[in-house]
């Protein structure tokens, strides 16, 4: 199953008991990929710092010995706030220090997929690439990826990795959905300049089969199914109207919520949607998408 369980609010908005229950349900249903970050979720913590999600995952793993080897555990580095202001960035010192802290919180020996969470143009890209590569060479990380990076920076980093003979980024984490905002329109909560999948992204993926795409916020915070969460104004355009009509017809034909069709559509494209849920009911709905074969393009 290529669905990914997003654990952003585990340990903050989502209490530990509920977090454990959702992790148990996800794994029982065949889910194996978990996504977190060292900064999750600093904005929901009185401390102003993250680490809560990784810590909850670590305690859950400790309570389920023997399960670790079946899982793909992904975490991130780069945007944890600094006490003096700004974010940690992607220097070699930060990558080495924060990977060790993530491993300790998670209680594991190796991170399966380690993401560069956001750009750091104040640090030379070669330093960043070399530092990530060193983690793989040391056996502390298996694979590498980049989140919220422009395509040209990903390509440059991969070229540097080839020159240095180190592990390249082989995964992208960006946001998209079945409907998209107007070009140039501001989307609330999406302040990453290069966080959206574009046509160029898709073309780049098509030309580089070693790259995979993980999609965050695939359901636009529940807007497909929940009347109390309408799509942001940026999505109000004729393209959305047409695609929602097609989606509604397909969901009705299948007898399922529109959100399930959206997730199934992404899975059919070979993308890995990250589902961030807060209840078991929401999780069960997302899991059901894996068995749907939608007839939408």
CA separation (Å) from 94 to 40, 69, 82, 184?
Answer: 17, 27, 11, 33
> Would you state the pLDDT for residue 241?
96
Q: Residue 215 — very low, low, confident or very high, per pLDDT cuts 50/70/90?
A: very high
Query: Within 13 A of 273's CA, how many CA atoms are on the CB side?
Result: 26
Q: What's the mean per-residue pLDDT of the chain?
A: 96
3-state SS class at 126 = helix
> Would you state the pLDDT for residue 180?
95
- Name the DSSP class of 87: B
Give the number of other CB atoms < 10 A from CB of residue 252.
11
Residue 74 has pLDDT above 90, yes or no: yes
Distance CA 25, CA 18 (A): 11
Contacts of 205 (CB under 8 A, 6+ apart): 172, 211, 212, 213
CB burial of 95-122 (b: ≥16 within 10 Å; e: otherwise) equals beebbeebbebbebebbbbbbbbbbbee
Q: Residue 135 — very low, low, confident or very high, per pLDDT cuts 50/70/90?
A: very high
Query: Domain map of the chain by residue range?
Result: 4-291
Share of the chain above pLDDT 70, in %: 100
Q: How do residues 238-274 score in pLDDT, each as one tens digit?
A: 999 999 999 999 999 999 999 999 999 999 999 999 9
> Would you state the pLDDT for residue 186?
87
Distance CA 190, CA 161 (A): 29
> Poorest-confidence range of 5-19, 81-95, 144-158, 177-191?
177-191
Contacts of 159 (CB under 8 A, 6+ apart): none
> Would you state the pLDDT for residue 190?
78
Residue 192 has pLDDT above 80, yes or no: yes
Query: Domain 4-291 classified CATH 3.20.20.100?
Result: yes
> Would you state the pLDDT for residue 1?
82
- Name the DSSP class of 108: -
Closest CA to 29 of 53, 65, 3, 61: 3
Q: How do residues 147-184 score in pLDDT, each as one tens digit?
A: 999 999 999 999 999 999 999 999 999 999 999 999 88
> Would you state the pLDDT for residue 8?
97
Residue 51 has pLDDT above 90, yes or no: yes
Q: How do residues 31-48 score in pLDDT, each as one tens digit?
A: 999 999 999 999 999 999
> Would you state the pLDDT for residue 184?
85
Residues in the chain, total: 297
> Would you state the pLDDT for residue 169?
98
CA separation (Å) from 127 to 1, 116, 117, 183, 242?
Answer: 35, 13, 16, 33, 46
Q: How do residues 226-238 score in pLDDT, each as one tens digit?
A: 999 999 999 999 9
For residues 96-106, average pLDDT: 98
> Would you state the pLDDT for residue 144?
98
Residue 191 has pLDDT above 80, yes or no: no
> Would you state the pLDDT for residue 17?
97
For residues 61-65, average pLDDT: 96
Sort 290 into a burial class: Cβ within 10 Å, 0-12 / 13-18 / 19+: middle
* 250 within 8 A of 296, measured Cβ to Cβ: yes
> Would you state the pLDDT for residue 195?
94
Place of tokens 């059901």: 288
């Amino acid at each position: 199953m290529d669905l990914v369980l997003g654990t952003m609010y585990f340990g903050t908005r989502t209490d530990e008991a509920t977090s454990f229950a959702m992790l148990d349900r996800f794994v029982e249903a065949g889910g194996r990929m978990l996504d977190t970050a060292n900064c999750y979720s600093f904005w929901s913590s009185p401390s102003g710092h993250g680490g809560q999600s990784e810590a909850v995952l670590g305690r859950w793993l400790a309570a389920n010995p023997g399960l670790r080897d079946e899982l793909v555990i992904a975490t991130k580095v780069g945007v944890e706030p600094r006490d003096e202001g700004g974010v940690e960035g992607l220097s070699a010192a930060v990558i080495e220090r924060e990977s060790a802290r993530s491993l300790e919180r998670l209680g594991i020996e190796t991170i399966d997929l380690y993401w560069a969470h956001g750009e750091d143009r104040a640090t030379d890209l070669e330093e960043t690439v070399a530092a990530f590569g060193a983690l793989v060479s040391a056996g502390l990380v298996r694979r590498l990826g980049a989140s919220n990076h422009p395509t040209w920076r990903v390509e440059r980093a991969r070229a540097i990795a080839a020159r240095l003979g180190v592990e390249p980024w082989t995964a992208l984490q960006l946001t998209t959905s079945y409907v998209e905002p107007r070009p140039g329109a501001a989307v609330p909560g999406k302040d990453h300049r290069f966080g959206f999948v574009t046509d160029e992204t898709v073309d780049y993926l098509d030309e580089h089969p070693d790259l995979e795409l993980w999609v965050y916020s695939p359901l636009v915070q529940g807007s497909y199914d929940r009347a109390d969460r309408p799509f942001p104004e940026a999505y109000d355009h004729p393209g959305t109207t047409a695609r929602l009509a097609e989606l509604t017809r397909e969901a009705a034909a299948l007898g399922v919520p529109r959100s399930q069709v959206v997730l199934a559509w992404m899975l059919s494209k070979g993308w890995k949607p990250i589902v961030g849920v807060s209840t078991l009911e929401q999780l069960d709905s997302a899991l059901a998408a894996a068995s749907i074969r939608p007839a939408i393009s």
